Amino acid sequence: MDPHPEPKTPARPIRQLNSIAAARLVPSFCILASHLSFENVFKDGTTQGAYYRIFNPLGFNSVSFFIVLSGFILTWISIDRAPGPGFKTKRLLRILPVHFITWAVIVCAFGALLPKKSLAATLTLLQGWIPDHSVYFSVNAPAWTLSTEIVLYLAFPWIHRFLTGRTTDFLLTALVGLVAVLVLLPAVLQSLPDGATFSNAAFSERGRLVDVSEWKYWLVYISPFTRFLEALCGVLTCLLVVRGKWPKSVLLPSLLLVAAVVAEELWAPFLMTLSAFTIVPVVLLIGSLAAREIGSRTTTSKIVGKVSALGKYTFGIYMYQWVLILLCEQYLRPWGNSLLSGILLIAVFYAVCLAISVLSNRWIETPVNSFMRPNIAARAAARPGGPRTASPAPERATAGS
């Protein structure tokens, strides 16, 4: 116990953080662009090389952004009301419908090309725990992050109860410690034996493809335990922001993020490019965006407000894009474009993913959640003590949203 406990964390000063919701679209686009960079989108080799060198590392860093954001948003929506009965079920219902759809479509369309050993693990979202790239990258490759999301959902009620009663000094010390672990882990692993290695279109140093240690890559980038530490950074950041202990300047984190990405491309060993260089500016940026909006006396601009409405669809964009990429590889092959045609292709690809996500949210995810909500509420009420307060409409809080 802390010797000098602080008052209870204050209530949320505002309900919706439009700036963060709008900001989701940028890393969402970077992840999609990074996946497309593995294809020969542009006919000209120099153009394709530049496209790959810019967006491939941004894809890795954008995943970190969403994982940190998942912890932040879960904490934000729990400030006024601690997670109660039904919390885990509600959270799982935000991700499982899209997961099952994408898994089924890919298995039905490309099942003959998939390793049979991966099907059960990917269906149950346990693939992230298996240090084998033929498993965690199988079927819908981006879905490996959901292994971490499930851990976060299961642990969050306990984490929330523990951290909300800690002092600000404790929260800040814990955040610094977690960031230090995430930065030092890949640095320490650099000096250890690689063991078995494998190659992937995403593995490059300064534009040159490299083989990567299977166990090191899994431990740094895939392992739910490691990625859970990033989500905890988001939890701690949110608590500090709500307590008014976070700087409001967005400029410094933005400059640090740009500098980190440049350093990754020009110098850093591959393992260090996955998140070690960018975790500090990512945490600072998410906290500063929220702190600035909370502390602002004026509402966000109408443009930001309208763009923020699209933020809830980024999870669908994240999950459906791999289906479209596989379909393009197998049937359409729209590669080898001129500069303008290639840029248009990337933009159209993102727009199509967005449209599919909107339709999925409207006709699948929302009806499923509406159908299940009364049952969840009834089960929660039947538990000893029942729900303490009425539960508002759930908000998305996933790695891809």
What percent of the chain has pLDDT above 70? 89
User: Is residue 12 in some structural domain?
Assistant: no
User: Is residue 242 in some structural domain?
Assistant: yes
- N-term to C-term CA, the chain: 35
Provide the mean pLDDT of the chain.
90
What percent of the chain has pLDDT above 90? 78
pLDDT of residue 12 exceeding 90? no
pLDDT of residue 34 exceeding 80? yes
**What sign results for the dihedral spanned by CA atoms 278, 279, 283, 284?**
negative
**What sign results for the dihedral spanned by CA atoms 63, 64, 65, 67?**
positive
User: Is residue 4 in some structural domain?
Assistant: no
| Dihedral pair phi/psi, residue 213, rounded to 5° | -60, 130
Q: Looking at per-residue confidence, does 80 or 335 come out higher? A: 335
Whether the full predicted model's pTM is greater than 0.75, yes or no, is yes
User: Is residue 27 in some structural domain?
Assistant: yes
User: Is residue 334 in some structural domain?
Assistant: yes
pLDDT of residue 8 exceeding 70? no
Nearest to 210 by CA among 226, 192, 194: 194
User: Is residue 13 in some structural domain?
Assistant: no
User: 44-48, 199-203, 368-372 — which one is most confidently predicted on average?
Assistant: 44-48
Query: What is the domain range of residue 43?
Result: 18-382
What average pLDDT does range 261-270 have in this prediction? Answer: 89
pLDDT of residue 382 exceeding 90? no
User: Is residue 249 in some structural domain?
Assistant: yes
User: Is residue 399 in some structural domain?
Assistant: no
pLDDT of residue 149 exceeding 70? yes
pLDDT in tens, 165-203: 999 999 999 999 999 999 999 999 999 999 999 999 999
Question: Domain total for the chain?
Answer: 1
